[in-house]
A and B are shown apart, each in its own frame.
Chain A
């Protein structure tokens, strides 16, 4: 049953990922991307990580895809039928790079071994029961399931702190870059000169 569930989720995820790339209509592509994010959240649930699944839905489906759609709304192709979004000469390099990244990730996943006391990625244990209150200290896996918020926080601040800080730096850089790209000099009213942006007409109550 779990196997069938996994296959359904995986196929749905792959299909929506493909749809994201292949669909011409921008909003529909963004919707397919949201579907893919949701499939990833489902995979997190299958991997016993409800906390991460909820985070995935909250951040990716609830915020990122919304912002994506909002961004689409601010472009010319509001109804998503912009012909400029056709694939161009970059198709072949794109395919090559995509396959290369896939191969790298696959290689890395298959080479992964346990670190310290942790077991390898591929090791499988049956899931311990949900227990609230005091959890015995010698069961990190059980603690991770029952108190995942705390465990994720501690791991982010200790073992993965470099990656965490790097991600923060990357996001800041992206934000600054977005402002720099969106900011145009001619939009800014120059000093000393009256603004060229027309002011709102005064609001009148007469019909």
Chain B
């Protein structure tokens, strides 16, 4: 510690004053680490699995888990004990070290994403000036883990799954990152806390045509990033067993499982913080931030409201994911790529321009006025609708203009192969 504060020491670069590791901050970080990251978030994940099973059962006219505890509420605990005690099998030809490192990388990526989420006032674990970029960087680690899992298993299904996963994750990362740019533009900062503060001033970012479009792009791209139906091609069980985690068992499989649901939770938090106004109960209304005074009870009250609303929004997002999962069918691989590159990416790029127009109409003035807000809707609304229509129209024209059978569904043997000689 003395060395840290000594200005003559040649290595006093890092963090010496900015984050002074006094015991107060150390205690806060320790609490986040122990209570949040080791206790709370895995617990949330366990009950997300329970909720998904219950929700899926409801959709499919079943009952779902109901044997362990009332309403099957102890089922996740039983599952966790089962996963922990199961034998961990590693294939003989597998690359042992990499086989171990892959699930760790995936789960670390999922945990790191949660480190900058502002749950309520003063309740962001770490508030980095470039938090959003950090979040994107953390989430971009998981494809590496997925790929290594598939490669190290020495199993052709694993490898196929890994190839599919990497192609999909790399493709959908582009619209995902592009959909965040309007938020950065409006927020004027990469810090998630600053973005939340901006949404207190100017209403939820989703309450604008470019914001809505960006939210939808983000939603689709993040479902794809999470490998969930209808984008679960990397682990399509009817084609390639379980994809990249075919050869995983016991707690190593449990880590993949945990990481998947943790990522769903993290993306829910991210979308809520970026587009849905964090813990604000109503768009365009400052409540409960106007109650914030300098007294501690008020802060606690405001934080309780914010945290409850935040978690409610995340829950809605998670339920939406479950709903999509039990409703939609799996996409075809070529259509998956087409959708990312021909629909989402152009729309996301054009949307940045519309976001600039919205910025000029609404946010440039410095205060939110009803006139400016309505004017923004009048200007950008038709533009967004036109852009979506244009992209869809061009793609349909390209599809119809191309050779027959390309990109169109074919049934039975009725497909016509243009220009291809038999054999």
Name which residue of chain A comes closest to B10, CB basis. A124
A152 and B137 CA atoms in complex are apart in Å by: 17
The SS class assigned to the A binding surface is helix
Are A27 and B133 also in contact (CB < 8 A) when A45-B14, A199-B420 are? no
Q: Is A126 an interface residue (CB 8 A)?
A: yes
Are A57 and B140 also in contact (CB < 8 A) when A66-B147, A195-B421 are? yes
Name which residue of chain A comes closest to B191, CB basis. A132
Contacting residue for B412 out of A45, A66, A195, A204, CB 8 A = A204
Bin chain B's interface residue count: 35 or more
User: Which of B18, B141, B166, B170 counts the most A-chain CB atoms under 10 A from its CB?
Assistant: B18
Contacting residue for B18 out of A5, A57, A130, CB 8 A = A130
User: Which of A47-55, A91-99, A158-166, A173-181 lies on the face that meets chain B?
Assistant: A47-55
The smallest beta-carbon distance between B316 and chain A, in angstroms, is 29
Q: Is B129 an interface residue (CB 8 A)?
A: yes
Interface residues of A in 70-108 (CB under 8 A from B): 70, 73, 78-80
Contact across chains for B1 and A54 when beta carbons are under 8 A apart: no
The smallest beta-carbon distance between B17 and chain A, in angstroms, is 5
Name which residue of chain A comes closest to B190, CB basis. A149
Contact across chains for B10 and A27 when beta carbons are under 8 A apart: no
Contacting residue for A73 out of B4, B127, B163, B194, CB 8 A = B163
Name which residue of chain B comes closest to A45, CB basis. B14
On chain B, the residues within 8 Å of A3 by CB distance are 3, 9, 11
Contact across chains for A127 and B133 when beta carbons are under 8 A apart: no
On chain B, the residues within 8 Å of A168 by CB distance are none
Contact across chains for B423 and A148 when beta carbons are under 8 A apart: no
Are A57 and B14 also in contact (CB < 8 A) when A199-B420, A203-B413 are? no
On chain A, the residues within 8 Å of B12 by CB distance are 2, 124, 126
A132 and B148 CA atoms in complex are apart in Å by: 40
Contacting residue for A67 out of B17, B170, B419, CB 8 A = B170
On chain B, the residues within 8 Å of A31 by CB distance are 98, 101, 148
Contact across chains for A203 and B410 when beta carbons are under 8 A apart: yes
Contact across chains for B133 and A145 when beta carbons are under 8 A apart: no
Bin chain A's interface residue count: 35 or more
A199 and B98 CA atoms in complex are apart in Å by: 38
Q: Is A63 an interface residue (CB 8 A)?
A: yes
Name which residue of chain B comes closest to A130, CB basis. B18
On chain A, the residues within 8 Å of B16 by CB distance are 2, 126-127
Q: Is B136 an interface residue (CB 8 A)?
A: yes
Contacting residue for A146 out of B1, B129, B148, B415, CB 8 A = B129
On chain A, the residues within 8 Å of B193 by CB distance are 132
The smallest beta-carbon distance between B60 and chain A, in angstroms, is 25
Contacting residue for A194 out of B151, B163, B415, B419, CB 8 A = B419
A28 and B191 CA atoms in complex are apart in Å by: 35
The smallest beta-carbon distance between B126 and chain A, in angstroms, is 10
On chain A, the residues within 8 Å of B129 by CB distance are 50-51, 130, 132, 145-148
A197 and B16 CA atoms in complex are apart in Å by: 64
The smallest beta-carbon distance between A117 and chain B, in angstroms, is 20
Name which residue of chain A comes closest to B139, CB basis. A62
Q: Is B326 an interface residue (CB 8 A)?
A: no
The smallest beta-carbon distance between B160 and chain A, in angstroms, is 10
Q: Is A137 an interface residue (CB 8 A)?
A: no
Name which residue of chain B comes closest to A128, CB basis. B17
A148 and B10 CA atoms in complex are apart in Å by: 24
On chain A, the residues within 8 Å of B218 by CB distance are none
Name which residue of chain A comes closest to B7, CB basis. A126
Q: Is A207 an interface residue (CB 8 A)?
A: no
Q: Is B95 an interface residue (CB 8 A)?
A: yes
Q: Is B134 an interface residue (CB 8 A)?
A: yes
The smallest beta-carbon distance between A123 and chain B, in angstroms, is 11
The smallest beta-carbon distance between A64 and chain B, in angstroms, is 11
Contact across chains for A51 and B13 when beta carbons are under 8 A apart: no
Q: Is B144 an interface residue (CB 8 A)?
A: yes
Name which residue of chain B comes closest to A56, CB basis. B137
Contacting residue for B133 out of A28, A51, A79, CB 8 A = A51
A69 and B389 CA atoms in complex are apart in Å by: 37
A127 and B12 CA atoms in complex are apart in Å by: 8
Contacting residue for B159 out of A54, A67, A78, A129, CB 8 A = A78
A61 and B173 CA atoms in complex are apart in Å by: 14
The smallest beta-carbon distance between B304 and chain A, in angstroms, is 24
A-B contact list, 12 entries, CB within 8 Å: A2-B12, A6-B11, A54-B134, A54-B137, A61-B141, A63-B140, A127-B17, A149-B133, A149-B190, A202-B413, A202-B415, A204-B413
Q: Which 7 residue pairs across A and B have the least CB separation, nearest first?
A: A62-B140, A194-B421, A202-B413, A57-B137, A199-B420, A58-B137, A54-B133
Binding site for A on B (CB under 8 A): 1, 3-4, 7, 9-19, 95, 98, 101, 127-130, 133-134, 136-138, 140-141, 143-144, 147-148, 151, 154, 159, 163, 166-167, 170, 173, 189-191, 193-194, 410-415, 417, 419-421, 423
Binding site for B on A (CB under 8 A): 1-3, 5-6, 25, 27-28, 31, 34, 45-48, 50-51, 53-58, 61-63, 65-67, 69-70, 73, 78-80, 124, 126-130, 132, 145-149, 194-200, 202-205
